[in-house]
């Protein structure tokens, strides 16, 4: 098989620390298969959060690299460019009730194309470990290559 880049349509991904995953999930196999959920086991009463990601363009990768050594800013820019949808992301309100966070607000950037509005990312309140995990998954998906 020849070496080359894989061009793939957007995929739903689940973070390794999602509370819906059971310990017998094979997360490494999930990653190696480019997110085939057959390698994951879920709690029967809990639904995972699914993040719909897409491959980054070269211009988007450059914008992420231009964030310098600020890893949180790099992760946020990666998510702004690579995340296109979200399912079952729950936010707890002050009164203790939970709401499902709305779909990303997209903006048209003349250089980067359709990306998520920075305000949406800030308001979603992603934890640092969630930002980093999404950043890593988007990077892995964007650099998908055919095997040697």
Q: In the chain, what percentage of residues exceed pLDDT 70? A: 92
Burial 11-49 (b: 16+ CB within 10 A, else e): bebbbbebebbeeebeeeebbeeebeeeebeeeeeeebb
Over 50: is that where the pLDDT of 147 sits? no
pLDDT at 105: 94
Q: What is the pLDDT of residues 17-39, one digit of tens each?
A: 999 999 999 999 999 888 999 99
Looking only at the bridges linking them, the beta strands covering 90-92 and 50-53 are unpaired
Average pLDDT of the segment spanning 43-62: 93
Average pLDDT of the segment spanning 82-111: 93
pLDDT at 102: 93
Confidence of residue 110 (pLDDT cuts 50, 70, 90): very high
Q: Give the integer Cα–Cα distance in Å for 30 and 79.
A: 20
Does the global pTM surpass 0.85?
yes
């Amino acid at each position: 098989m020849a070496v080359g880049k894989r061009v793939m349509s957007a995929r739903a991904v689940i973070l390794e620390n999602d509370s819906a995953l059971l310990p017998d999930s094979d997360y490494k196999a999930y990653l190696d298969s480019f997110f085939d959920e057959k390698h994951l086991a879920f709690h029967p009463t809990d639904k995972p959060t699914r993040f719909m990601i897409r491959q980054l363009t070269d211009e988007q990768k450059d914008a992420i690299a231009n964030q310098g050594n600020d890893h949180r800013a790099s992760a946020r820019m990666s998510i702004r460019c690579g995340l296109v949808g979200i399912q079952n992301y729950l936010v707890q309100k002050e009164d203790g009730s939970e709401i499902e966070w709305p779909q990303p607000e997209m903006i048209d950037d003349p250089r980067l194309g359709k990306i998520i509005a920075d305000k949406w990312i800030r308001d979603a309140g992603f934890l640092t470990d969630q930002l980093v995990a999404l950043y890593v998954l988007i990077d892995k998906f964007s650099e998908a290559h055919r095997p040697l």
